[in-house]
Amino acid sequence: MLKPLLASLALIASPGPDVAAKAGPRLEVGVAPSQDKLRPFDPVPAETTLALEAPRGACASGQIAVRSGARFLGLSARATPLVVPGRASGALSLALYRVGHVVLSRPSGPDGEAGEWPDPLIPVRDAWFREERRAFPIDLTPDRLQAIWVEACVPLSADPGELQGQVILEQHRHAVATVPVRLTVWPVVLPSTSTKPVTFGLSTLLGTRALGKPGDPELARALAAAALRHRITPHALSANPPSGRCDAQGCALDFTTYDAEMAPILDGTLVPGVRGTFAEVRLPGAILRQPDAVLVAALRAWRTHFDARGWADRLWLYTLDEPKPSDLPELVRRARAAHAAGVRVFATTTPSPTLNGLVDAYVPNLDFFAASGAGPFHSASPLRADPRPFWYASCMSHGCSEQPDASRQRTRWKETFSGWPGYEIDRPGAAALAMGWLAFREGVAGELYYDMLQGWGADRAKDTKDARTWDDVRAFAGNGDGLLLYPGRPDEWGGVHPFPVESIRLKLIREAQEDQELLLLAARTGHRALADRLVRDLAPALRKWERDPKRYLQARHQLLAALSGGAAAVPGAAAVPVPAAGTLDASAR
């Protein structure tokens, strides 16, 4: 039997952490849910036991907040494995990160706020190269809160029940505080691969160059794995098309290099058990400029290859991003060629008579849904049974330009860009979390996001030792717009290999996707009424969603409890392999 959780679910009060009686500055220690963005001058939370819950196949995160009234030198943190008391087997590892900060000179739109904000997560040990990094020890500045991120990922093979462990805070190898950690594993299984496609742009050419190893294949895999570990399929990557020649009679394309890059993602071996859900056709400009018959031949070669590899259900022609009216004739030409070759068309635009029957998935910005929902974006197509659109968050969540000077324009700007969900740094964690609940409510078929490394572009013209994307996170008038990973360089963070540094927002995006999976599972297993009610309570409209993280935790608990009483397992989920030991650390599924 699962032990009942208290009303707060993720945070259960206890008498307090076990603080060692040592001479020296006194530490204040508390815990907070992952959705709380703990800023340096926030109060230390009162709760002191970190209580997490998750289904199998999902991750759970929380935070430990530490503050000292005087300078505190050499704080470190380590975690014991989570175990079932009295049982020798079934231990789970906890991953620890030091929460880093970025200084924002201007807010993101009307809802943002300038100042110092938490976002980068410096790992104790990175997930791909498994090298120790310089997360700790650190010196605490008097009266500034420092957060430590704690993450537990539950394999599909885990037994339901409660596991216990602790995070030990140390100074010079001596324990100064102990924070109890409890993880409740529910008898519910989420699929390792997302039910719906979620694809974010990620240029490995840019990423490897910014980290000083242009084109390095292992570093490129680490970047792609950082996305997959968070239920995101990266697109773009090297952007290199297959080599070969095409004419109207057919194509001879060599997919060897392409398959070396993409097969681990699409087959589910890069992050074991997690299969990529999206792949775009890559065509050089020379072929796109050829007569229609050559274009059809090239697209047919892609479809034939994807059929042979078992990937055809994930292949799309993603062409002419956000096309202008003058671009529509070319979009029509390419779409007709794609359909002639049996390839679906993915278009970041809205319906028009010119595109009738040619676009298999419209992908409008989420603000287009505000007036009428997803209905107007349904697309009837012979190549796709599901007519529903994808959607994407963008700078329209905060305003794509800076606040106007004129008072009348400023008032209009605030009215237009207040209240939207999105992925900005200086927004509450619920702004990202609500995206999963809103996606379920709107019935969208998938999610797109344009870039995970937008801010890394500035590094190309600078010396990599001095260039710090961490200090320049603003794009399109938003903080962190298109930036969900930070560059991790060995000279700064230790180890031998450069590596991607994850962000709090990336963790919250994964939480949003996992909540959406719970809602979809509930809808399939006789709990649709509960799912709909919870969504109405938390996210009744695109600009009206709950800001209090505890409300989401309570709703998640209700879903888990309902699913645990019925048919909770996702069909086929048991066949998804569990990560092999030594492949990725405990924070990877």
Q: Do 321 and 284 sit in the same domain of this protein?
A: yes
- Report the C-alpha dihedral over residues 195, 199, 200, 204, rounded to 10 degrees: 110
If asked whether residues 283 and 388 sit together in one domain, one would say yes
The CATH number for 16's domain is 2.60.40.10
Q: Element (H or E) spanning 28, and its range?
A: strand 27-33
pLDDT at position 457, please?
74
The whole-model pTM stands at: 0.91
Task: Read off the amino acid at residue 34.
Answer: S
Residue 109 within any structural domain of the chain = yes
CA-based nearest residue to 218, from 297, 128, 305: 128
C-beta atoms surrounding 218 within 10 Å: 11
In tens, the pLDDT along 543-581 reads: 999 999 999 999 999 999 999 984 333 333 332 222 332
185 and 215 in a single domain? The answer is no
pLDDT-derived band at 381 (thresholds 50, 70, 90) equals: confident
Is 350 in the same domain as 490?
Answer: yes
Q: Indicate whether 161 belongs to any domain.
A: yes
Q: Are residues 214 and 232 in the same domain?
A: yes
pLDDT tens digits for 245-278?
A: 999 999 999 999 999 999 999 999 999 999 999 9
The answer to whether residue 450 sits within a structural domain is yes
In a domain, 473, yes or no: yes
Q: pLDDT at position 398, please?
A: 95
**DSSP 8-state assignment for residue 180:** E
Q: Are 208 and 183 in contact (CB under 8 A)?
A: no
Q: Are residues 105 and 238 in the same domain?
A: no
187 and 254 together in one domain? no
In a domain, 589, yes or no: no
Report the alpha-carbon distance of residue 95 to residue 81 in Å, rounded: 10
Q: Is the dihedral of CA 511, 117, 62, 136 positive or negative?
A: positive
For residue 547, give the 3-state DSSP assignment. Answer: coil
Both 187 and 202 in one domain: the answer is: no
Examine residue 71 and state whether it is found in any structural domain, yes or no. Answer: yes
Task: Examine residue 529 and state whether it is found in any structural domain, yes or no.
Answer: yes
Quickly tell me which residue has 């008032």 as its tokens: 411
Question: Is pLDDT above 50 for 112?
Answer: yes
**Do 141 and 226 belong together in one domain?**
no
Give the C-alpha separation, 42 to 93, whole Å.
29
Q: What is the mean pLDDT of residues 391-407?
A: 93
**76 is in which domain, residue-wise?**
11-191+571-575
501 and 358 together in one domain: yes
Per the structure, the count of domains in the chain is: 2
Residue 319: pLDDT band (50, 70, 90) is confident
Residue 558 maps to a domain: no
**Does 445 share its domain with 486?**
yes
Domain check: are 187 and 203 in the same one? no
